[in-house]
Structure 1
Amino acid sequence: MVKVSQHKSLNCAFNTVQRVFSANIEQAIQKLSEQSLIEYYNGAEFLAKIGQGDALSISFLKTMPWIGEFYGDGSIQKIVNFAYQKISRTPNKRAVEPFLNSFIDVIEHTNNDQLDQYLNLIEYHLSKTTFSVHGIHDTYASPSLIVMLDNMNLLLEQLEFEGIYEWINYGLRYFQDHPERQKEYFSLSSADSKAVFQRQRKGLLFNDIEREINLFQCALWKTDFMYAPYSPNFEKLEHFHPYLEDSVIRLPDIYEPLNGINACKRYMALVAHLIVHHQFTTKIVADNISPQQRFFTEIFEDARVEYLAIQTYPGLKNLWLSLIPIVDEFDCDDKHQSCLRHRAIMLIRALLDENHPYKNQIILDYVEKFKRLMNLGETETLDSLSLGFGYLIKTRSASDALASVYFENTEVTYRDDNRSMWLFIEKFDEEDNIFERQKKSEEDEEGIEVIPAHYYDEWDYVYEAYKPDWAAVYERLHSHTNALKIEQILDKHSILVKQLKKVLDLLKPQNKKRLRYQEEGAELDLDIALRSVIDIKNGSQPDTRINVNFEHDSRSVSVLLLLDLSESLNEVVGQSGQTILELSQEAVSLLAWAVEQLGDNFAIAGFNSDTRKKIMYYHIKGYNEHWDDAVKARLADLKAEFSTRMGAAIRHGTHYLNLQQSDKKLMLILTDGEPADIDVHDPKTLIQDTRKAVQESQQKGMYPYCISLDKKADEYIADIFGSHYSVIDRVESLPQELPKLFLSLTK
């Protein structure tokens, strides 16, 4: 046993190790107990003698004083034993140095009683990924241990140990026998790895509360903006802020509680702020405005729109204030650092909180100016510009330009990047050829996906587990052509239309709801008409809305017709000379006409796929659209191409159908074959995934029903839809059968 007090050098032949030892021994003596110091000496000497050069001892000497201090006596010896027995004596010798270096990150993100948990984790990964060609001895190093150790800081920062095991197991499940793909997965560079990682993180996933947030924005503002979550961890977007643009809300995919406020309320605060910006903010040309001027203008505009929202919903005030930090007025030293953000956060708090603690006279003056402005009633974004300019002029300091900036506790996490209030005049915007450029842009837009992809899990029936964010669904408004084609279809089936009309008259709801104040209507509203006559005689402007109309009020049905638009629909049917696609167009035209007569809430969408990375979802008719020429023009331009990844399409259709407020929600899936795609070789994979998607839809209160045109459908369709399907053997009869089937399902 080495006596610490007797030795000032190591029994080691490496001069480099001796130099590092001399540089670190005093620190080690200060941090470590007598026993841990002995472990420190012995460990450094031992690692220098196992035939791997000086690098291991150098890493060990630099890191172990902190490790031994944190984990206590016995921990250094335990790490040395593990490094030698579990790593160095296997084909993984190269991993010993990264293993030792990883502890700098490990002690930052673990408790002092979790050393064994970390060592067990590394041993588990090693045992599963070190392999042999002949299966007797380990002959090949783990392809992924070193890259996983390189990412240990991120793993331990974002995941609990249980989550890391789940992430490891997913990688082993699919890539254990593929060294290159395994390395890619454990380096956190593949999409699969990132998706599984995201699901295991600490906090609340936005996907888990999307419905609640949707109901929140719908209830308060009657809006239905879509969401596109982002993950800053992998896109290096640490300073990326949420925003609302093109009717899409970009927001973080996960939130943890903050200042005692749970993650769900944080999402509510964020969405509320974005929507009130959308309602009350108008754009300002920003080209001649400096960044600091924009910065303070944004602060006043944020306060203005929130003040307006609080007049309608007072409860929002406490929600927003709970997420705005309070800093001490004298925290920032403006002689040595820029206090721009410090001044800003005090102003942000003071503008909304009448009980703020600040005494700065300029802040108090501008809070008073802001309140006077808001009490006038009519305000606009330009008012915020004026206040921002004035505040900056009054508070500007030479220290604002210092490189050292006061950042501590100055971020308001629920606020966006304010892109909605700035208009930048781009190069070429004022040239003579601007209209030509605009036209070209519109033509080019045909091939661009402007809405971010929606990612859906896909069910793996072999492992009975989901593959997270596996399928990417891109939305698009379907292209259009001449609507006359659909009118000709209705004329062609005029006899069937007459037959359907008789059935529809019987199905129409008999209860009626009176709609008053109509320009045109079924009856005269005598009360309003008499009042208008009196107004005329008094020389006043009469109310011309003197009629009453009626609408049916007892049929509460929402329907989504989901069309398979895969390549196989181009097949010609029998002797008719028509393709399945053309017959589907006829059937859908008749069905759409029938549903319009009934007044049901009805949408039409189509889908096809080109691998899991590109599933197209085409909007043909929206729930809020009527059966008009615009819808007919889209339906007339249907095209059949690519494959049929049905599960993802059903999940996306379920998302929209679930937003409807009807008592009965019916999803009709019209297809001519089984689910399939070119990147899937096991035919059961997509069949079982579609089955799972149908079950998910049913659990949400929807009724998926399949109309199959495939003569071989009996081999698989019951597996997917149970008893909720019909097979139409004679495809030529589809135009007659589809409307009748719909009517029978919605009686």
Structure 2
Amino acid sequence: MNVNAIPPELATPHETGSSVRPAFSALTLALSGRSMQLQAHTTDVPDAAPLRPILTSTHLLLPTDHLAADAAEPARLYRASIAHAAAHLRYSPASQPTGTLKPMSLAVMAALEDARVEHLLANEFPGTRAWCLPLLAQSLEPHGLSFTALISRLNYALMTPDYSDDNYWVNKARTMFDALRGSLEDYAAFRALGSILANDLGQMRVRFDPQQYVVPPAYRDDNTYLWQYPDAPPEPAKGLDIAGSGDVEARQADARHDGPQDDAHTLELVRATYPELDYRSGVLRSHWATVIEQAPPAVSRTALSALGSLPRLNLPARNNLTRDARRRRQPEGDDLDLDAVIEHAIDRRRGHTPGPRVFISPGSRRRPLRILLLLDASASTNRHYGTAAQSILDREKDAALMLARAAASAGDIIAVHGFCSDTRHGVNYYRLLDFDSPLDSTAQAAIQAMPGRCSTRMGAALRHAAMLLRIEGRQDIDERRVIVVITDGAPADIDVADDCYLVEDARAAAAEARRAGIVAAGIVVEACDAGYMRRIFGPNAWRVAGDASALPARLAALYARLAAD
């Protein structure tokens, strides 16, 4: 079947009831590669919200209320619904555990997943794009600021390159989505992007009512296919294999843990697989290490009240000005500032006196820095040096908090994450302080509450950090992106006997980050020689703090050097 043409039988109105035209079943098979049971469903509830299609691994339920509510030509609507469902069946991992994700986060992640799979389907079947765009335009609320309106604008912006929106959040989402267009198969990256955008909506105080929310485009399903809710029976895994550097497995997690577990660290948010280098054979083993984003440690009122003050960390002055800055709204310059010119014309038409600042002039600015501190939270960091009252991990946390405050005061953007590992099947990753999040008492207490446990599989954690930094970074400015790993020793894990194996894999992960435009650096708290750090990070991107008490000063010096390059 030519899916880029409109079959005549689909251009006629579709009868209601339980019967479905054979052409719909044929279209489903052609697009998804599997046979699906198509059924109609309706509701007897008066004044109910419009129904949306429901997708399972074996059935697609098409609402009959489309006839009254959403389309003059329901056959066109059903055709788009089938195409969208086929995109999920082909490219989406089904029944992902929701963990502690809030309903608004799930809705944002689902909207991004809808756009991701539609782009993938359109790459294979270009005609399907034209089936969906008119229905996206029909659901668009271009001036609303409710959650539904913002999602409708997001949906349209992600699928329509020439659409212009005046909302910062929508434009940020499109910019970050476009930055990932070259890796549409990387489900983990888009799910992480959804977490970022949902956090932004929370900061904007956008209200979300999960009982009233309906996916805006009428042709898209209700996204229950994507999630495994805690009280729902698991759907059998289909073994969907999505190629990519950071794929999320389609089945629900059952990672093997050999050591004792802390209940506070069993709330899983994201699961992604990454390659790992076997230096002995020179083979990069795909999907070898599993990174599991865990919920940050729970913060009690007692922990909040016990927070103490930390010394101020003074960063060395730096002067890394760049000459490529363009200063807008200037009284004179070489180019016109289009936005200022438009406002100038509007003021004149309104009878106001327009301002003279309508030019762009060259200038200089300090190159912004986005830094991710990655704390080693393995069990060995619980040890104390000599008679020191604090453990190495305590000093890591204090140094991270001091640097975070100083960097924010300097105008840089900083995040604090932590990691530990229990074999390649379970590299635990904690996002304690995210980019653009305030370093308030809750974030500080979450950092201080992170325990030291298990081992140090540094390469997988580095790859996940680089993926997060890649999607977080601003694409429209020349931004320097840096990962700094703070550790107490060489990478190790209980399933690896070769001392060089994880060092070489971490070296490969750092090299991958550099090729992506991210600087990877490290600082180690160790009194003896740390030649493995040179092996991993290169000759100039690492430091040694021979004593844990010297860690804040060493970290500040490394930070200043990296920021000045």
In the superposition, the TM-score normalised over structure 1's length comes to 0.38
* Rg larger for: 1
Larger strand proportion of the pair: 2
Query: Which one has more relative contact order, counting CA pairs under 8 Å at least 6 apart?
Result: 2
- The structure in which a higher percent of residues are helix is 1
